[in-house]
């Protein structure tokens, strides 16, 4: 089993000192950037400018999670801003495979995400077009919510489909990941873990990252 990938979500960071908050987790693997448009989800966060600011602060891989309508109209802006992986929601676009091909043609990794109520089965045949699947374990829109353990069935289904077809698509989980929940997600077969409040809610952010990675090592 590869080393677990820990992706702190800067949504939970103190924005008055964003530079320090990003540098505080330089022992993490990726930085998770949550983009919310107030339409696809009932909350607003930030856009390409802040994404570019984060990219200028760190050399870490930027994992950009677009919780927005019409992602096809916006992805190029996030690529220009420095995204390494662009994750869009399948509920928000009519042709997820076309968008994945576009992302790869621009030299970035392609990911899709699903809300808790969206089944994974219709997408299993298209996994080869994607570098990553982001399973939401809360309703997207807000940090600090409770983990939904029933979403781990989706992770198990994905793990089996990916392994049976010798694919390299990574499984990432997002929402309510903490020292209390990460081991079950690891057991179900995740590769990467987003954590907002479980990292930025602690005084020692770097220690929280190391602790989560240790607990996810199965």
**Known binding residues:** 9, 32, 34, 65, 141-144, 174-176, 196-197
Cα dist from 168 to 112, 130, 204, whole Å: 15, 9, 33
SS (H, E, C) 181-193: CHHHHHHHCCCEE
The footprint of ligand DX5 on residues 20-49 (CB under 6 A) is: 32, 34
CB closer to ligand DX5 out of 127 and 199:
199
Name the 3-class secondary structure at 61.
strand
Q: How far is the CB of 197 from ligand DX5 (least distance, A)?
A: 3
Q: Which residues are catalytic?
A: 34, 174
d(CA 20, CA 37): 26
> How many residues does this entry show for the chain?
218
In the set 51, 174, 176, 209, which binds Zn ion (CB under 5 A)? 174
Residues 2-21, one symbol each (x = binds ligand DX5 by CB under 6 A, - = not), give -------x-xx---------
Q: How far apart are CA 66 and CA 39, in angstroms?
A: 12
Site residues for ligand DX5 per CB under 6 A: 9, 11-12, 32, 34, 65, 138, 140-145, 174-177, 194-198
């Amino acid at each position: 089993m590869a080393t677990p990938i820990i992706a702190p979500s800067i949504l939970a960071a103190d924005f008055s000192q964003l530079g320090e908050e990003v540098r505080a987790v330089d022992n993490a693997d990726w930085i998770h950037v949550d983009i919310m448009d107030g339409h696809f989800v009932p909350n607003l966060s930030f856009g390409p400018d802040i994404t570019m600011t984060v990219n200028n602060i760190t050399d870490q891989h930027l994992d950009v999670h677009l919780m927005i309508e019409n992602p096809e109209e916006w992805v190029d802006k996030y690529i220009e801003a420095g995204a390494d992986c662009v994750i869009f929601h399948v509920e928000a676009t009519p042709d997820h495979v076309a968008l994945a091909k576009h992302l790869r043609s621009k030299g970035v990794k392609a990911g899709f995400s699903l809300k808790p109520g969206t089944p994974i089965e219709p997408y299993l045949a298209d996994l080869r077009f994607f570098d990553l699947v982001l399973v939401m374990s809360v309703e997207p829109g807000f940090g600090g919510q409770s983990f939904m353990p029933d979403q781990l069935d989706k992770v198990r289904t994905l793990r089996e489909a990916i392994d049976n077809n010798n694919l390299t698509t990574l499984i990432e989980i997002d929402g309510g990941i903490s020292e209390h929940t990460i081991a079950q997600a690891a057991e179900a077969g995740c590769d990467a873990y987003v954590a907002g409040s479980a990292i930025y809610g602690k005084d020692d952010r770097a220690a929280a990252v190391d602790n989560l990675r240790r607990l996810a090592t199965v």
